[in-house]
Every structure is written in C-alpha cells, then in structure tokens.
Amino acid sequence: MDLQVSMGTKFKAVVVSLFLSSLLFPLVFSGSTDGLLRFKLKKRTLDQNNRLAARLESKEGESLKASIRKYNLCGNLGESEDTDIVALKNYMDAQYFGEIGIGTPPQKFTVIFDTGSSNLWVPSSKCYFSVACFFHSKYKSSSSSTYKKNGKSASIHYGTGAISGFFSQDHVKVGDLVVKNQKSFRTRIHTGDPCQEFIEATKEPSITFVVAKFDGILGLGFQEISVGNAVPIWYNMVKQGLVKEQVFSFWFNRDAEEEEGGEIVFGGVDPNHYKGEHTYVPVTQKGYWQFDMGDVLVGGKSTGFCTGGCSAIADSGTSLLAGPTTIITQINHDIGASGVISEECKAVVAQYGEMILDMLLAEAQPKKICSQIGLCTFDGTRGVSMGIESVVDENSGKSSAGLHDVMCSACEMTVVWMQNQLRQNQTQERILNYVNELCERLPSPMGESAVDCNNLSSMPSVSFTIGGQVFDLTPEQYILKVGKGPAAQCISGFIALDVPPPRGPLWILGDVFMGSYHTVFDYGNLTVGFAEAA
C-alpha cells in the first residue's frame, strides 16, 4: 500500500483515491493437477461510494502525497515442493493482497505484497489508541510459542499519516512456506541463524488504515530501503532453501467479470499466466526493482520526454502508473483527461511564453532558460525557486515559497512542452495554445484526471519501450471505471509524481502496467522481466 512515506533514502505514498473500497471475501481453495497449490479468489467491482473516504483522507495531507503512494529517494516452475503460489485478492482493480500467517499456531493477516518496500508490518495487540486497529487483525505475541522479543522501535511516515511500533521476531507462513524466526540482520551475524524482523504497529492514526481492507504490508524490495535495515522476508526464503529458483512472479487478473484476483508465485513462474517470451532488463539500482526505460509514446508517436532514457520501477504496491508531472500532463491531455486549471501555469505562459519560445529558437540551453528569465535558480540538476513573487498574487502582495516553487515548476514544464512542439514545426500561436491546454490538464488536488467513458474507443494507446520492446497499453487497460451504467465514471490510470534527484526522475509502473504484463522479479540474476499477461 502506500501513501507518501518518508524514511531515509525512500518515501512511500498510498493511492488512497482508488483502493479504499470493497469488501473482502473468504479465500476459496482448490486442488491442482500440475503440482501447484492454487487459491481461487473472489473480487468486487469499483464502487463510487468508496472514493468518499479517499477524498476525506486527502484533506489530511499534501495534495500529491495524498494521491499516490511512496518514494524518495525465468524458466519453468520447479518441482511442487520448490514453488509456492499465494492467492491475491483484487481490491477495486487497484490493490491486490493475500493472506499470510505469523506465529505458532499461525495468526492470519491480509497483506499487500509490495515490491516497492521491504518491511513486513502488521497491527499489534498492543495497539490501544488507534481506531484502525479495531478494524483489523492484530498480532498477539503471547499466543505464539515461537515468538521472540526484540523491542527496537520503528516507524514509517506517510503523507497522510504514519505507522509506528516496534520490531519483533517470529515464524511467518507464506502459502505453505514457513519462514522461521523473523529476526534482525545483526542477530543473524552473531548467531548464524537465517532470520529477519517484522514490525508490530502500535499506532495507525490515519483514516486510510481505518477504511483499508488490508491489515499490513509485506515488502518484496531490497534490503537497501528496509527500515531498520531489517532483512526482507524474501531474502530468508532464499537463504533457508524454501524456493528452488531465486525468482518470484506476479499475475494480476484485471478481468472485472472474473472472480479470481491473481497470483504471486514464489520460486518460479506459471506459464499459464503469460504469452510469448519475457523481455528482461537488468536492475540498475538496488532498493526498488529499478531499471532503465526507453521512450514513452502516445498513439505510436514519441512524446520526446525519454529520448535520452528514463528510470523506472516495477511496483506491485502502487495502483496506478506514475511519472513526472510534465509528461503525465501531456499524456492526460492527449487522451482527453481533465484536471484542475493551474492559474500559475497559465500565468507563466501569458507572461513568459513568447520569451521562452524565442530563447528556444535561439538555441539557448533549455535547462537554464527558467533561471535566465528569473523564475528559477539553476544548481546543475534542476530549477529551484529563487523567491519570485507569483504573478497571480501580485495585486494582493502575497508571496509564498509554495507558489514560487509552482512558478518555477510551471516554467520548467513549459520549456519541455514547447521544445517538443518546436520539433514538430508547430507555429507560435499553435504552441502557445497547446501549452495553455496542457496547463488546464494539470492534475487535480487528488492527482486524478477524469475522462468521458464514451470516448474509450477513440483514445490512443500509450506505450513504453523497455529492453528494446514496445509495451502498449490500450484505453481499456489504462482507464479505471468507477460504477456502472449512466453513473459510471472513468479515471485516468496515469498520475503525476515528481521524484527528485538523485533517485528521480522516476516512473512507477504500478498495477495498471503489471495488470497487463506478467512480471518476473529475478533476484538471482538481478533482472525484471515482462510478458503479455494471459
């Protein structure tokens, strides 16, 4: 799950606008003749009423932080005893989660399997003063014969709340696999035991956790972003020999007419869940499952944003597909999505638009234009507000650092948009009109952009180049539908998130992308693979 988390080298954020809605159904188990243990899942469709809680939640935090979620910053299946399949529940086609057990006997918890974080946490029986804890399963250490005390404090901060508590250690059951004594890395060094910690959450003050249908998070990222340097549970599954191959894979079922929500397979891949061959790319930076991504195309045409390459992560815990505001705004414009008008953006175009165009035509350095016209300072990597008063507030005499930063960001986006239009030999009038249209498409405070459900058939595809292959998303794949019939609303699956250097700019390929492309996380070879989902 994730709302904006801030923890050392990372920060998380939960997509509250899309996954706070639906009731959990019990898992239904069924046998299999192929040696795999399969869990059949049921799911519910989107419900407009469920978005109300998300809107209430957004008022608790900053606009973008309330919209997204986190960040700062191979082969065939093995034998049945070497692989395990964990069923995933489908939550509004926006979040997928499954059931684990902690302790002896196992205490059951519903968790999001999140490749964008690395810690395991669940509510604690010692959570007395957070309303959220009364609506979820709680770990009771006194009921487990294998519990071992740790007590080290831990906290993860979100844009609209936080969870805090302390580390403990115990056995964790994932499917039929039992990972023993989840302890700390430090303990393992001294004892030689294969182990890792988990967090007992004693405070969950955010309304997000009250209405959420999951109990906790099971992180599948790398130890480099683990809070408290705790060893991720996947590391211990490998170290304890519980899986034959150092691979796990995700299949999300996006078919709203089917009850099955998806599967995560530990130790291999299920060939029934993909078509053709996977395209593998190397992990470029351990922490998230990060890799290099090529061009971004709309309707088969380059947006010009990633011609020099971009970085991306495959994140099962993010509902939507997130990217830099500049290009996401352009994509939402091209697909006909509407956001909230940004007066600051339009003010930049009105006052500086022609000047920016002239400077681009004079072959000025694009990255320095905004500092040269006085809206930003340039530190060698990005624009930083230098305190220029917003033209919107000139008459009132008001000024704020937030508005200054908006003016600087608006200028930087305007330069990119104009540069792309100049490449297409557009006239000055057309360019200025186009950039003003993009200003109107800037994301709303919730980060959402809506489209007319009747226009899906005329919307363009949006594509991403990974490993030299083009991965297309059709409108049916990148649009999320809320409700049915005349009351239905359609939400763009593209949302803006600006991750600052050195970690960013960064694209987050969440469930919108992973729902269309079966994803393999190869820990042994440090690669990520994508193939068309079946």
Q: Are strands 107-114 and 95-102 parallel, antiparallel or unpaired?
A: antiparallel
Catalytic-role residue among 170, 315, 511, 522 = 315
CA 397 to chain centre: 39
Write out the two tokens for 376. 């930003």
Please provide residue 327's backbone torsions phi and psi, each rounded to the nearest 5 degrees: -80, -35
Cis previous bond, 271, omega within 30:
no
Q: Are strands 383-385 and 376-378 parallel, antiparallel or unpaired?
A: antiparallel
What is the DSSP secondary structure assignment for residue 518, as one 8-state letter? E
**Which residues neighbour 403 within 8 Å (Cβ) at sequence distance 6 or greater?**
344, 389, 390, 392, 393
Residue 264 CA to residue 174 CA, distance in Å, equals 11
Taking a C-beta distance cutoff of 8 angstroms, is the pair 217, 157 a contact? Answer: no
Please provide residue 505's backbone torsions phi and psi, each rounded to the nearest 5 degrees: -65, 150
- Local structure of 264: helix, strand or coil: strand
State yes or no: is 315 an active-site residue.
yes
Residue 479 CA to residue 202 CA, distance in Å, equals 37
Compute how many other C-beta atoms are within 10 angstroms of the C-beta atom of residue 282: 13
Residue 49 CA to residue 52 CA, distance in Å, equals 6
Between 401-423 and 325-334, two packed helices, what is the crossing angle to 10 degrees? Answer: 60
Residue 77 CA to residue 118 CA, distance in Å, equals 25
The DSSP annotation for 155-181 comes to EEEETTEEEEEEEEE--EEETTEEE--
Cis previous bond, 232, omega within 30:
no
Write out the two tokens for 243. 């899986």
Taking a C-beta distance cutoff of 8 angstroms, is the pair 506, 71 a contact? Answer: yes
The DSSP annotation for 380-409 comes to SSSEEE--PPPGGGTTTT---HHHHHHHHH
Residue 208 CA to residue 409 CA, distance in Å, equals 29
Catalytic-role residue among 84, 114, 170, 522 = 114
Residue 251 CA to residue 506 CA, distance in Å, equals 23
Block residue for tokens 């395209």 = 279
Write out the two tokens for 131. 């309303």
State yes or no: is 452 an active-site residue.
no
Amino acid at site 20: L
CA 533 to chain centre: 19
Cα dihedral 326, 329, 335, 338 in deg (nearest 10) = -170
Return the CA Rg of the chain.
23
Residue 318 CA to residue 325 CA, distance in Å, equals 17
Catalytic residue positions?
114, 315
